A = this chain, B = another copy of it.
Amino acid sequence: MSPRKKTKASPKNKKSASKPTATPKRKDAKGAETVACISETAKDVYKKIHKAQKPTLTLPVRSLSNVRYDARKGFFELGRSRKHRTLTVNTVKTFAQTLRLMGLSKEMIDHETFATKREAYYVSKNWEEAKFNEQAESDTVMDDIESMFSLRGVSREQLRFYPEEHGGAVAGNLVVIDKNPTTGRTATIDCTQMGTGAYTIPHSVEHLEFKTNAKFIIAIETGGMFARLQAHGFWEKSDAIIISMGGVPTRATRRFIRRLSDAKKIPVYAFVDCDPYGISNIYRTLKVGSGNAAHINQFFCVPKCRFLGVTPQDIVDYELPTHPLKDVDVKRAKDALSNDPFFKTHTEWTKALKMLVKMGVRAEQQALAKWGLNYVIDEYLPKKLKNKKSFLP
């Protein structure tokens, strides 16, 4: 290694470790609302302590038993069970950590910045006795804060805790209106002009606005299929927006689809592999959310989403090459049939899943390539889109 001057002095010169260096900026309405929420919660704690009472934080119970599914609302909703975290000798450290993380959140809104889970963990290294020893600890407290504020309609992204993963790739008849993060000037991203590439959804999408006349959004499981639709002008011919999920969609992808489809009243169609993973993990998560994180579903699920394919019936109709279902597939399908309120509510899904288990096979969306690489664009998708009523709910 080449010799280098010691830079030891510099880190210690910092005044506040967690504080970003920029001066506070003007907050937008949503930021102000979030700060008000944090302050209110903190003031409650402060008041109780001054009255020599034990302060309490109220959190929703996060488990499948505290989840409701109402087909009309269309997503897994949090039930009414709550737990209360009261300040005691045993909870003092976690209690302090919760308040410090909330404080970090307020600081980040004030200074227009954010932290990933991992960064928040490292920031705590300067909190002396309140520091986290493992990232698992700070993740849990962050989940608590997220669920606590979700009761007031505030999402983790509004609290400025951003996911590590960005969102999927987007192309099609869509203009995204964002801001240059440093100058604040409008940035206009024309998703018709991405060539063979695409637009990457940012980590937080709350501030985005959209211009589009697209007739539908198609959410695609694999990057390869997205590339095919992009390369052969599918979205131009059918006036659509195409989005690559790359497996189970990230939070940013789900929130982007949700905000875009709500704002512009555009239907959403899912195009995934015909297997219990594609159906139950990818599609179900996109549409109704997940059971053990029900507090976030209000922000992230896309209840209007419908299932274009590949359906179990498609395997028969299109004579698709298949693979045998693995044990884990069969287990997943049977779990969905017996325990999942979403699949149990919709008889079309019950029939489809039973058919899949009975056939004992699965088919990938690329299996359509048996009939030609672009058969999916020239035949399959147009035929499907002519009969949208046949989409599974």
Contacts and interface: CB of A to CB of B under 8 A. Distances in A.
Given A178-B196, A193-B187, A198-B166, A115 B369 contact: yes
A92 interface: no
Contact of A195 (B18, B178, B195): B178
A22 B261 CA distance: 33
A94 interface: no
Given A19-B372, A366-B119, A113 B232 contact: yes
Interface string A145-181: 0000000000000000010111001000000101111
B193 A2 contact: no
Contact of A14 (B2, B194, B351, B371): B371
Interface residues of A, number: 98
Interface string A292-317: 00000000000000000001110001
Given A17-B370, A121-B366, A179-B195, 5 more contacts: A7-B383, A11-B318, A11-B371, A126-B370, A126-B371
Interface of A: 1-2, 4, 6-8, 10-11, 14, 16-22, 108, 113-116, 118-119, 121-123, 125-126, 162, 164-166, 169, 176, 178-183, 187-189, 193-204, 207-208, 222-224, 226-228, 230-233, 236, 244, 311-313, 317-319, 321, 348, 351-352, 355, 364, 366-375, 378-379, 383, 387, 389-390, 392
